[in-house]
Chain A
Amino acid sequence: MSDVSMDKVNKVYENGFHAVKDMSLDIADGEFMVLVGPSGCGKTTALRMVAGLEDITSGILRIGGKEVNDETPKERDIAMVFQNYALYPHMTVAQNIGFALKLRKLPKNELDAKVKEAAGILGLTDWLDRKPGQLSGGQRQRVAMGRAIVRQPSVFLMDEPLSNLDAKLRVQMRAEVARIQRQIGVSTIYVTHDQVEAMTMGDRVTVMRDGTLQQVDTPQNLYDSPDNIFVAAFIGSPAQNLYDATVGEGARSIKLGSQDVELPESVVLKRPGLRAYAGKEVVVGMRPEHLRAESSTSTGPKIVGEVDLVESLGSELVVHFTIDAHRVIAEGAVDKDEAAALQSGEGVARVEAKTPVKPGDRVTFSVDIEDMQFFDPKTGLAVRG
């Protein structure tokens, strides 16, 4: 068990592609760190550099305080779960799990005991004599996990280990992987492109984009106070409503399309930086649950939108609406289809299940203005202090 520290780590591939740029990240002993970001942002590259499967172009990688740049995966004492599991097809489940221990010349009875213990933790006891070809996807995934945990390594590395499972199994395994990690308490770096996985599993989450680290924080902090527009758009489902807006004189209101939204004093007090934006453009972010379709008698800031579509999830309604403000799309944070739908200025609100809304209605949403997020349109950075 050890902490992992990356200090200005870079990766430039032979073809000149700069895949990871000045990445500095500290993972505490026993911590579950999730690396999340859109496909191609360099997560796998970063993970493979920690594993020792990819050379580090520049920067320093330390495990347990010791520089390990030039060490082999074996010397680093890491264990890895691969996206396609990479099980040995000619070995049984028991042999797969025990392979690393066998190479370390562990006595047979000790090896068997450890394999049994790992299999027990993963519910694989009945499958020990099967070959990987005879297992389901979920079981193979468990074998891959078993191969990693049986060694009690310094660091666990997992590259999208659940992405080949169907949706239901994925949710189940999500909880299970997190539970096992806590049970054995090994520092873990877990790569995923799925922000829901990141939010539900990680002690902390690192968001990456185009090889650059965007923000490292707890899931809640990422959600509540993203450092920039990209993180704001990437984290959360349905995605946050981000619009171009103009701050009114004296920062007392926000002009959102043709609508004026009142800005209480308290909001500006919490974010004194906003004052400098008076009369200037800003990007505002509103989480879908911060828009409420309440009775029109309530006071406070409001926006009016025209309803396009209502999706009932049973527990709540997801209301898609349009306002005449320009929607901001952080490239790469949402997929292309979604981005196209957003062009029109569409927003999303999550409202109570019984709310009487239907497509074509003009609905007044009251805005939880204290939770509104503000970003500089040029730098994309959050406006706070």
Chain B
Amino acid sequence: MAASAIRTEGLSKRYGGLDALKDLDLEVGEGEVVGYLGPNGAGKTTTLRLLLALIQPTAGRAEIFGLDCQRQSVEAHRLLAYVAGEASLWPALTGLETLHLLGRVQGRVDESYRDELIGRFELDPSKKVRAYSKGNRQKVILIAALMTRADLLILDEPTSGLDPLMEQQFRHCIHEARDRGQSVFLSSHIMSEVEALCDRVGILREGKLIEMGTLAEMRHLSSLSVEVTFDGVLPDLSGVPGVSAVHAEGHVVRCQVRGSAEPLLKAIATSGATRVLSREPSLEELFLAQYGRKSEEEMPAAETSGN
């Protein structure tokens, strides 16, 4: 039986009294592209650092292609490439020197692909790292990971600091990797990025995996934040199908819309709306809309058990 690219069992990490990650059971199959979504502080980086043995679990275990992440880390690392969230590099080395070093340490590099990536990401490799912007440092780390053509790519918010054009390039590279049969595990706090790339998505919140499934199964989560300005009396939108989290303030009503926007548009069409703004909600807003009530219910229970 082929081992999965990543498998964790009850993986947990505590920092003092804080559960940064609690009982994570996760599996990433070979050749799969899996997104790992969660708001800031959810425990994404903690999970990835556990997989890479940069930190040690308080409980549970993890495997990469059947190799124990902690005890066989060197062997496991031969099969993967990692992009860290914070791109701190050696300031005195140039981009090319950095890539050369990281390639030699990894022990496997597709040099022509490396040069192609340098071109695609429009990186000037002759500059010293200290002269690079944050985005350029991020490019160096991305290229260093992609150029290895590793069997598994583990990426921690890889597009932070990249401009939209480069983000597009990045997505292109991930599609290529998938086509070559590489597995990808990608953390992000941006819904749309994960939607564009991943076969399956896990959603993490306060250290717990609360959802895991295909994008189709996740549809109920995708929604829009809408802000409508009226010049007259505010209509009551709370009964409109698909609309939730309605909040009125002065002439402005804010709400979340799930599924079709048609009922909402119908409802406001006759009420003198002067301005309609819509945007993708932040994950935090989504979670508030989806789970807010639930965690409020949980709280008193937690209090009584604490006493």
Q: Indicate whether A and B interact.
A: no
Chain B positions within 8 Å of A, measured between CB atoms, are: none
